[in-house]
Structure 1
């Protein structure tokens, strides 16, 4: 059986270095992916790809799911991406956006331009020696392959396409389509897996995000002898046009709590996919907003360097490592990741041509913080100033998830020790009562250092004994 190169468990600013005797590993680590809108990479250089791959590796991500839709820049950009991935030992695979492959002849393009060309590439992700292939949708009318008239006919066309791809590449295909109807899971007859896009729950949700949908998919997949690919996200908001202006509920620490809930499931998902690396329009990106990033024109006001989400990437790293290894990684030093929206959910905008996003009322006006406290730490409490009002809460060893209500004004966070001295302290952008335009994207920060300054484009840093040291990527051969 061919062996796969998968990144070893990695360190974040608040996670112990690889090789810790306390870190148990699964016999077969579960891979973690990040969803990429390839069209938003249309201006990337090969160096940009290499930098992104390095950041992803340091966050414990094994591969990018390249969501492709026959963009005219794909030929040139994919050549750069796969070249950079090969040089950095990072992996890529395709997630075909079926909104763009629903016309006659689309399967020919999938085979000639994507799978036939890159399926056998050294940088293509393999799962148990098979070429990993995914989709975005494909289960509803308008997304059927080659303009098929029914779901059954579409699947027959997929069977033909995957057989041709196997012949062209010389390897079996591991097919994991994104079908957002659990009742269709059993229709996957190719023996791979199935994915759901339900990382945020239903529109207008006001209750805590649960794992009921994931458990239903796991049960259906298990019955059909398939694996389940679970989606994970931090937040969602889009504000670009009257018909594309809404938020999805991310209250209650959506990323850390839901990810931990997924990890606790038994049986659990076979793999996880972060939504997303670079979907700037919908604000759920975890990767950098580079000058070369293809931010949609309507989103440039709220998807920029001020709305840095890299701290959320580093937060996800803790859970990525946990998901892959089966054990929560030990914490080596104090660290705080915190995030919030820059104005109240019910604020009125003074000069926005669009109305407030739909479902804005479902969002809590809070500052959220994840405080990592190692064993033996002197940290005793966290003080969060949200809108000029300081609020404190005791912390203990481990991961502390703390939220406080906010109002307009100054915002800061301090981690205080037993002598009432600040171990860590930092401030964020002011919260405003009346914005000029609506901004429901999140601003996030990390302590000891702000992620914008410390992590772009440099490697994630580990703070030890008062010094800043750089982690080094290592790999091991896993069957």
Structure 2
């Protein structure tokens, strides 16, 4: 897996852009003053096309508005890394955000890269946007078990709050200030979807980390999805999915119950693994992921997280008090999971773990007062009574248009009805297996399209003549007459 950048919202007194003075805090805290911090993993490795710090401003302001305190800047050893780090640090300072380095040890040597790692830490430790926790420079990683932590500490000029993605039983946690778990999805214990009775849950990994840390800072992961479909057109072929469904909703309740010191959302912009919660329009270069990312916005997942982030920082067990307006967030895959694309797809075989997915539409309601939700999928209509606050449910999808409506007292609530721009089809879009999710909202959000650089690798590996352009229609597809209606009795309410 590849790590991703995290976004961090931090409330500080005025910071002068361009100043390199160190900002010292007795203890980092979020805007609410609770001391709990929310990060979001941000991939520097795909943003080589950014030409100034201003290219980061939209990401910084959007993340801050959602309650994110800092971006975890995932870095490798690319030649453009240092320039992009300067841009990110300068943008964060201008937008009153925080950032920190997250070293990807897929690219850094565990033994020979200490001077390079220490040099980057020393360079950026004096930037005003560098995150500090407990008066220490905050640094993390993706993997890295076995790196000489004490050698890193001896080589840097400031005390470190070192919280890497080490693994219990594989690393010496006594050398750490905290640790980050990357296990944000159920697996079989071997980095694949659960199978043959082998199931490793996310909360079981939480317990392993909490036990290993013995009171030190735990960075709990949260991710909405994971699917990837790289083939022979790239060097790091991978073709698998993890169970998603209502993962995003359920995981946030686990976090509210766990109350860790830190949360890291995976990710802001790892489009290749389909767990991005940042915009498609965020500037980035395409490594071939656009084949399954084009026309598949995820902004609704960030919308859903907002009241949960506020509740987490307040120490609450429910997001209900932090919901400020009615909203429906929905997501679904755009083809049935058993659709056979082998004759047109250049990647051999259907993704591993496909059978753990459900051919359902997943709906989360954030409501100011109770109402009735109507979902029409194809010719089938489902209705359920949603309580005030947060609740979730799912229904089997049908091919065709997808419509969502909120009513109260038998009348449609103004602005709370929409038909998705994305149809569900019984055909292999662009000839590939696509297990990414389309995420929409009611009220509808702003249209979000990939930019030219984000479509640059679209045709790599395709056998079809699919065009590398955004293709969502300007208006929703037509609906068909309903043939059946069902009342949904199973609703997952918010937990109080």
Q: Same fold (TM over 0.5)?
A: yes
The separation in 2 between residues aligned to 1:91 and 1:388, in whole angstroms, is 48
1:201 to 165, 186, 190: 186
Paired position in structure 1 for 2:115: 108
Paired position in structure 1 for 2:355: 361
The separation in 1 between residues aligned to 2:31 and 2:282, in whole angstroms, is 30
Q: CA deviation at 1:279?
A: 0.6
- The residue correspondences of 1:311-330 to structure 2 (distance < 5 A) are 311-327=300-316, 328=319, 329-330=321-322
Q: CA deviation at 1:210?
A: 5.0
Q: CA deviation at 1:7?
A: 4.9
2:390 to 382, 388, 399: 399
Paired position in structure 1 for 2:417: 425
Paired position in structure 1 for 2:474: none
Paired position in structure 1 for 2:276: 285
The separation in 2 between residues aligned to 1:451 and 1:179, in whole angstroms, is 39
The structure-2 alpha-carbon separation of the partners of 1:405 and 1:288, relative to structure 1 and needing over 3 Å to count, comes to same
Instruction: Give the conservation status (yes or no) of the 8 Å contact 1:36–1:64.
Output: yes
Question: 1:421 aligns to what SS in structure 2?
Answer: strand
The structure-2 alpha-carbon separation of the partners of 1:191 and 1:213, relative to structure 1 and needing over 3 Å to count, comes to closer
- The residue correspondences of 1:52-451 to structure 2 (distance < 5 A) are 52-102=59-109, 105-112=112-119, 114-139=120-145, 151=146, 154-155=147-148, 158-165=149-156, 167=157, 171-180=158-167, 182-184=168-170, 187-202=172-187, 203-205=192-194, 209=201, 211-222=203-214, 225-241=215-231, 243-251=237-245, 253-265=246-258, 268-290=259-281, 292-297=283-288, 299-304=289-294, 306-327=295-316, 328=319, 329-349=321-341, 351-354=344-347, 355-374=349-368, 377=369, 379-423=370-414, 424-428=416-420, 429-435=422-428, 436-451=431-446
Consecutive unaligned residues in structure 2, runs of 5 or more: 1-23, 452-496
Paired position in structure 2 for 1:35: 41
The structure-2 alpha-carbon separation of the partners of 1:394 and 1:208, relative to structure 1 and needing over 3 Å to count, comes to farther
Instruction: Give the conservation status (yes or no) of the 8 Å contact 1:32–1:61.
Output: yes
Q: Which has the higher contact order (CA 8 A, sep 6+)?
A: 1
Give the TM-score of the pair, scaled to structure 1.
0.80
The structure-2 alpha-carbon separation of the partners of 1:310 and 1:381, relative to structure 1 and needing over 3 Å to count, comes to same
Q: CA deviation at 1:183?
A: 2.0
The separation in 1 between residues aligned to 2:200 and 2:385, in whole angstroms, is 24
Instruction: Give the conservation status (yes or no) of the 8 Å contact 1:209–1:254.
Output: no
The separation in 1 between residues aligned to 2:27 and 2:35, in whole angstroms, is 11
The structure-2 alpha-carbon separation of the partners of 1:451 and 1:236, relative to structure 1 and needing over 3 Å to count, comes to farther
Question: 1:183 aligns to what SS in structure 2?
Answer: coil
Q: CA deviation at 1:126?
A: 0.6
Instruction: Give the conservation status (yes or no) of the 8 Å contact 2:30–2:37.
Output: no
The structure-2 alpha-carbon separation of the partners of 1:191 and 1:100, relative to structure 1 and needing over 3 Å to count, comes to closer
Q: Deviations over 1:265-296 (max 9, x none)?
A: 2xx42101000011111010111122731232
Instruction: Give the conservation status (yes or no) of the 8 Å contact 1:211–1:262.
Output: no
Instruction: Give the conservation status (yes or no) of the 8 Å contact 1:162–1:173.
Output: yes
Q: Deviations over 1:413-454 (max 9, x none)?
A: 111111232441111111011223221111111121224369
Consecutive unaligned residues in structure 1, runs of 5 or more: 10-26, 140-150, 457-479
Paired position in structure 1 for 2:455: none
Q: CA deviation at 1:159?
A: 0.5
Instruction: Give the conservation status (yes or no) of the 8 Å contact 2:153–2:160.
Output: yes
The separation in 2 between residues aligned to 1:217 and 1:248, in whole angstroms, is 21
Equivalences, count: 406
Instruction: Give the conservation status (yes or no) of the 8 Å contact 2:25–2:135.
Output: yes
Q: CA deviation at 1:191?
A: 4.4
Instruction: Give the conservation status (yes or no) of the 8 Å contact 2:74–2:104.
Output: yes
Q: CA deviation at 1:401?
A: 0.5
Question: 2:61 aligns to what SS in structure 1?
Answer: helix
The structure-2 alpha-carbon separation of the partners of 1:6 and 1:388, relative to structure 1 and needing over 3 Å to count, comes to farther
The separation in 2 between residues aligned to 1:103 and 1:248, in whole angstroms, is 29
Q: Deviations over 1:37-76 (max 9, x none)?
A: 1111211242220110001001111001111111111122
In the TM superposition, structure 1's runs of 4+ consecutive aligned residues that sit over 4 Å from their partners are: 3-7, 206-210
